[in-house]
Amino acid sequence: MQVFTLQVEQLPDNDYQVTLYQVPYHLKGQMPQLPMKIETLAGWRLQAVRPVLLEELRKNGYDPSTLKAGRRAPYNIKEISGIKIGLIFLAVKPLQKIQRVEEIYLGISRMSDEEAYYWFAKCRNGERQRALRALRILLSEEEN
């Protein structure tokens, strides 16, 4: 199974941002590779998706109250949680309307595991922008 990490980084004014990293498989005899950044979310978008983020942390055995500006240790999360959080971060990052952000994060959090894997794979390859646009339209018809 693939491992993902969530890293909390403190910002000015006691605010914070959260970055999701995908940790590459480490095969015996190979040099370990650095984690790949999936996406960073901060501000009102992070606050909007906070409920699903807290639920995923809970599913991974973490106390949700530890998600705050002062946290230094990363959260190591299971593959499916990383896939869904990654999809949410990628899909909502450019959006301007909170209602659309909520529709999309709720849609992704309700996806079956197979559907989430499919969309994550589509959004991580060369057709990233098209796949993200299609996902946004599927989950929330309105543009932006």
Per-residue tens of pLDDT for the chain, all 144 residues = 788 999 999 998 889 999 999 988 766 777 777 889 999 999 999 999 999 999 999 999 999 999 999 899 999 999 999 999 999 999 999 999 999 999 999 999 999 999 999 999 999 887 889 999 999 999 997 665
CA-based R_g, the chain, Å: 15
pTM of the model: 0.91
Rounded CA-CA distance 6/85 in Å is: 9
Burial of 16 (C-beta count, 10 Å sphere; 0-12/13-18/19+): middle
User: How confident is the model at residue 143, as a pLDDT?
Assistant: 64
Q: Which amino acid is at 97?
A: K
DSSP 8-state assignment for residue 65: G
